[in-house]
Amino acid sequence: MSQSVGSGGGASGSRFNNGSSPVVHSLTSNPKDRDLTQFVPTKTRCSYHPCFCEENVWKLADGVRSKSPGELAKTYVVFVSNKKQVVPLWRQKAGRDEDQLVVWDYHVIFIYKPDERVLVYDLDSELPFPTYFHKYVTETFRTDAILNPEYHRFFRLIPEIPSSSTLPRIGGI
């Protein structure tokens, strides 16, 4: 990979139709969901380095591996990119407009699926940590219908997270 993680950096909203975002509700407001957060630390306790999403996700996975290895089979790493390596994402900390739109070369997120629920952990997101999958997709990726085809995202799902030495790189997306 010739680009560094998250090197897409700046955001430009002029190429995209920026719609309004729904109100955000915290995952932990439902007592049934509080047990789902025990495998990953709170956002403030996570190891976080801006613009290094891949490493941040690996740290999350490593935490699950060391605390609850039996839960690894319920986790996934998802690489998001496209052939042009120009990926628009909304509700990101690095975004500068009101929709917090940013364009990265790629992005990596951590997913935990303990049962019928699916949670997304994204340390670069302004959404709650974790966020339900549907909410995350709706607010972060929006719809390809508003994008030029060259900006459509591809997703590479890595089940049962490997050790850092075998974590695939984005070039294979």
Annotated catalytic, 53? yes
Catalytic residue among 99, 105, 107, 124: 107
Annotated catalytic, 134? no
- The rounded distance, in Å, linking the Cα atoms of 21 and 13 is 15
Any idea which residue has 């050790």 for tokens? 163
The pair of three-digit structure tokens given for residue 106, joined into one six-digit string: 């790629």
The pair of three-digit structure tokens given for residue 172, joined into one six-digit string: 């294979």
Residue scoring higher pLDDT (33 or 97): 97
Catalytic residue among 25, 53, 105, 124: 53
SS3 label, residue 98 = coil
Q: Is the pLDDT of residue 134 over 80?
A: yes
- pTM beyond cutoff 0.85: no
> Check: CATH 3.10.620.10 for 26-164?
yes
pLDDT digits (tens, 9 = 90+) for 29-56: 555 555 556 778 889 888 899 989 999 9
Q: What percent of the chain has pLDDT over 70?
A: 71
What pLDDT is recorded for position 22? 35
What pLDDT is recorded for position 29? 55
CB 155 within 8 A of CB 78: yes
Catalytic residue among 99, 105, 122, 124: 122
Annotated catalytic, 107? yes
